[in-house]
Amino acid sequence: MIASDRISAFDVVLPRTIPFKGQVLNQVAAYMLKASADICPNWLIEVPAPNAAIGRKCEPYLIEMVVRGNLSGHAWRTYASGKREICGEKLPEGLKENDFLPSPIITPSTKATVGHDEDISRNDIIGRRLVGENEYFQIERFALSLFARGNEIAAKRGLILADTKYEFGRMNGEIYLIDEIHTPDSSRYFYSEGFAERQRNNEKQKQLSKEFVREWLIANEFMGKDGQKLPEMTDEWISAITNRYIELYERIIGERFVPVKMSDEEIFQHILYSLANINPQ
């Protein structure tokens, strides 16, 4: 798998790439996969290049497991519209944006091959046989345990893992965690310091995630709908996005980010070498 520098929002690939984004995503994901390998098996075998990973090819389940510890993003927009239930999960009255939920909830979504992913409940997943009942409950347990581990790691770095998504697949009858985890593309992080005070004062939370890109698009009247025009991505805006990704890397990993430039041929050669020498078991 190659983690590219492309960036998407609202299921639309934006027209300009973000330098070193692929390296950040790949290396954060590898770090998090290794840090959670005791919870459930995962697909990763080796990282042969900064933006490349070699792993087991699994048959994916056609759902995404979105775990939420805070009322943010899509869940908040649903709540603010007046709804008090999302994906079969009932939400209490009186919550503000970014408040902690009474306990983490899972709000699954479909993995659409065409168009947008859609919210779906546990009952619908099982009823439509998208996942077998026993498998689904095991995936739920994995997802909640992974979320707890992610928050444990984040807390040591002064962060809160507010929400994230996990994808799972099967191979030889076993469930595997696949794709990236706990990256800025799949997760939302808040800064712990000052979080409670900002909530009390109804202030915007400082966060490390891709949500600021979505917010910028929304402010420029783009949400991926027909007829909407993508706003211009200036050099300054591209640089700002790169810096956000690097900031998250350094904060969550606890090490300085070292950008590595490799040609496609160099990456290819590293991959070939790894494939010739790894043990896939």
User: Any idea which of 4-18, 102-116, 147-161, 218-232 has the lowest mean pLDDT?
Assistant: 102-116
Tell me, what's the pLDDT at 117?
A: 74
pLDDT at 90: 96
Q: Is the pLDDT of residue 281 over 70?
A: no
Most confident of 7-21, 84-98, 108-122: 84-98
Backbone phi, then psi, for 274, in 5-degree steps? -65, -45
Long-range residue pairs from 127-134, CB within 8 A, at least 24 positions apart, any chain: 130/61, 130/62, 130/63, 131/61, 131/63
**Cβ(143)–Cβ(67) below 8 Å:** yes
User: What are the structural domains of the chain?
Assistant: 8-274 (3.30.470.20)
Is 114 a residue whose pLDDT tops 80? Answer: no
Q: Which residues contact 6 (CB under 8 A, 6 or more apart)?
A: 13, 14, 17, 18, 21
Q: What gap in Å lies between CA 184 and CA 180, rounded to an integer? A: 10
Structure confidence at residue 234 (pLDDT): 93
What tens digit of pLDDT does each residue of 66-77 get? 999 999 989 999
Calculate mean pLDDT across residues 179-183: 94
What pTM did the predictor assign?
0.89
100-107 average pLDDT score:
98
- For residues 152 and 39, the answer to whether their CB atoms sit within 8 Å is no
Phi, psi of 207 (to 5 degrees): -135, 160
Which of 200-204, 209-213, 235-239 is the least confident region? 209-213
Query: In this prediction, what percent of the chain has a pLDDT beyond 70?
Result: 97
Residue 206: its pLDDT value, please? 86
Mean pLDDT computed over 196-202: 97
Instruction: Give strand pairing partners of 110.
Output: 63
Residue 280 pLDDT more than 70? no
For the ranges 31-40, 74-83, 132-141, 209-218, the lowest mean pLDDT is seen at 209-218
Mean pLDDT of 204-216: 85
Task: Give pLDDT, residue 212.
Answer: 83
| Position 204 pLDDT exceeds 70 | yes
pLDDT at residue 215, as a whole number: 86
Q: What is the mean pLDDT of residues 175-184?
A: 95
Contact between 33 and 44 under an 8 Å Cβ cutoff? The reply is: yes
pLDDT value at residue 181: 96
Query: Which element (helix H / strand E) includes 123?
Result: helix 122-127
- Residue 184, pLDDT score: 85
Q: Residue 54: its pLDDT value, please?
A: 96
- Answer yes or no: is pLDDT of 241 > 60: yes
Task: Work out the average pLDDT over 242-253.
Answer: 91
